[in-house]
Amino acid sequence: MAGPGNTPDSTGKSQGAASSATQGVKQTASNLTHQAGQAASNLGQKAQETASNLGQRAQEMASTAAERAGDALGSVGQGMSNLAGSIRQNVPREGMLGSAAGSVAEGLEAGGRYLREHDLGDIGDDLGRLVRQHPLPAMLTVFGIGFLLGSALRR
């Protein structure tokens, strides 16, 4: 039974309007979901790009630091070789003093050549091999250096 404003025609219209409203809500929800997905995807891409940029910068900084350390080692090696030359020129070549000075100059020259020809990785490998071959002297050396540094820092 249809009441005074409830004709079968008006019921169909209200159902159509409700269906249309439901369809609009579904479409809006779908659009919002799509936009949220795009925003999340964009955010993920930006985070990935930022992480990649930071990684590249860190790698560049590490490379620069390694180059500077290598340059510093080369400079120290050159200084040691120069000092060896100065010792040879200014110290007598004969007698006990000359023999000791010659040995010191040879050691400085060999150390300087080693520092100029090797990088930090090679030095670390050689140091690790030396510690494995001679653990007790290595530990005593480390303790001695620690003692001297501790004494110097207390003053």
Domain locations in the chain? 27-118, 119-155
- Helices H / strands E in the chain, number of each: 4, 0
| pLDDT range class, residue 13, cuts 50, 70, 90 | low
Query: Does position 23 have pLDDT exceeding 60, yes or no?
Result: yes
Q: Is 69 within 8 Å of 120 (Cβ atoms)?
A: yes
Local confidence band at 32 (pLDDT 50, 70, 90 cut-offs): confident
80-129 pLDDT tens trace: 999 998 988 888 888 888 888 889 999 999 999 998 898 888 888 999 99
For the CA atoms of 94, 95, 98, 103, the dihedral, rounded to the nearest 10 degrees, stands at 120
- pTM > 0.85: no
